A = this chain, B = another copy of it.
Amino acid sequence: MSSGVQVPTTANLPPIIAQLFEGKARKGLTFDQIAKELGKDEVWVASAFYGQAKFTPDELKKVAEVVGINSAELVQDLGDHWWPNRGLGPIPPTDPVIYRLYEGVLVYGHAIKAVIHEKFGDGIMSMIDCKINVDRKPDPKGDRVVLTFDGKFLSYAKW
């Protein structure tokens, strides 16, 4: 079987990733449903499916069970010796969904930087210790996507 899963073919990802997506498609599961089984957020689980985060061995077994693929094979490929090789897709992004995020950086990046500095001083919002959520907010003029980055502020070292 080979479903039209959306794993970027040019990415440097383990082939087992395709099986994760195919199992998910076959069972008709959403990331939210899988995430609930794991006790995790759907965005984090989706990022792990794309090879951008690392499951623990227990999570690997649970995921294999939920999407119905071979657990041993999954552990063998994404287990202890595998580490995410992060960063996917063309730059600038060609897909409009991802491009709009990128456009947010282009248009509002300097403003966000200025306000972070005024509120926190010289430093950055961590993208490592950062949690990301996507919510649907009902709105009579059209529902809205609420995308939140919640990242630790890190001060610049001086030495």
Contacts and interface: CB of A to CB of B under 8 A. Distances in A.
Contacts of A115: 31-32, 42-43, 46, 134
Nearest to A99: B103
A104 B118 contact: no
Contacts of A158: 40, 44, 53
Nearest to A74: B4
A96 to B, nearest CB: 5
A46 B106 CA distance: 14
Interface in A1-34: 1-6, 8-10, 12, 14-16, 21, 24-25, 28, 30-32
Chain A binding surface, main DSSP class: mixed
Contacts of A151: 100, 144-145, 147
B81 A25 contact: yes
Given A46-B111, A87-B96, A148-B149, 12 more contacts: A3-B76, A4-B16, A8-B110, A40-B159, A46-B115, A52-B107, A84-B122, A87-B99, A98-B109, A129-B156, A145-B149, A145-B153
Interface of A: 1-6, 8-10, 12, 14-16, 21, 24-25, 28, 30-32, 40-44, 46-47, 49-50, 52-54, 76-120, 122-132, 134, 136-137, 139, 141-159
